[in-house]
Amino acid sequence: MLIRRHWQSSMRHDAPPSVSLDEPRRALLRILQQGHNLSLVGPAEAGKTHLLREISQVPEWHLEGFPVLLYLDCQDLQEATEQQLFTVMAEAVLRCDEGLASEDTHTRRHLDHDAYVRLVATLEDCARRGFRVCFLLDHFEALAWNQRLDTSVFSALRSLCSRPEVSLVCATRVPLTDLPGIAPGWGSPLCNVFMVLRLRE
């Protein structure tokens, strides 16, 4: 995974040359640059995984306004506990090759025994260093199907992506408010938080 940092305002605004500029990519790049949360919805084989992997590996992220992009496949977390989920997210930030956050900050927070607190501390450290972070959460349904996670986890994700230094892209086959295991419709903690981009086969 090749990640590049959020660069300074003198850089230009056009998309990286290695990204194909069809409409879904244009829309996704525009949303990422503006710092919005996104629900990426489409059937199997619509290209969600390809799109997220492609943009996370582009080496020319030297453009103004783009966050650091961290790709995570939620299928690897379908049996994870809440603590494991937030630990994986924090470690993804710490593994990034741009020195986003201090290992010391993360280590000190281990004393809290709360992975969410450690994740927030790591992201706050990123913000102090001038970075924004966007988690690209592919196959997000796997978290909804995970019986070890309850609605409080999704409420925590809502709280997380309301922070100015963090955004989420959640790729699913159905809208987030229709996912099983989460309160449906307007009762969902993920309701009214995400812009929606639909892909077709």
pLDDT of residue 13: 36
**What gap in Å lies between CA 157 and CA 127, rounded to an integer?**
18
Structure tokens at 28: 């996704």
More confident residue, 22 or 172: 172
Residue 3, domain member (yes or no): no
- pLDDT for position 20: 45
CA atoms within 13 A on the CB side of 75: 6
* 42, 141 contact by CB (below 8 A): no
Q: H or E segment at 135?
A: strand 133-138
Q: d(Cα 11, Cα 103) in Å, to the nearest integer? A: 29
First to last CA, the chain: 26
- The residues pairing with 69 across neighbouring beta strands, listed in sequence order, are 134
- Note the pLDDT of residue 15: 43
The reported pTM is 0.81
* Domain assignment of residue 112, yes or no: yes
d(Cα 37, Cα 134) in Å, to the nearest integer?
9
Q: Which among 199, 179, 147 is positioned nearest to 191, based on CA atoms?
A: 179
Express each pLDDT in 72-114 by its tens digit. Answer: 999 999 999 999 999 999 999 888 755 555 555 444 444 456 8
Q: Are 73 and 1 in contact (CB under 8 A)?
A: no
CATH of the domain at 110: 3.40.50.300
Structure tokens at 97: 């090759």
Residue 87 lies in a domain: yes
172 occurs within a structural domain: yes
Decide if 130 is inside a domain: yes
Q: Six-digit token pair at 26?
A: 């244009």
Instruction: Count Cβ atoms within 10 A of the Cβ of residue 5 and give its class: 0-12 exposed, 13-18 middle, 19 or more buried.
Output: buried
**How many domains would you assign to the chain?**
1
pLDDT tens, position by position, 116-168: 999 999 999 888 888 889 999 999 999 999 999 988 999 999 999 999 889 99
Q: pLDDT by residue (tens digit) across 162-184?
A: 998 899 999 999 988 888 767 56
Is the pLDDT at 5 greater than 60, yes or no?
no
> Residue 108 and residue 144: Cα distance in Å, rounded?
31
pLDDT band at 11 (very low <50, low <70, confident <90, very high): very low
Average pLDDT over residues 6-31: 53
Strands (E), 143-192: 166-172
Let me know: does 75 contact 52? Beta carbons within 8 Å: no
Owning domain of residue 169: 36-58+65-198
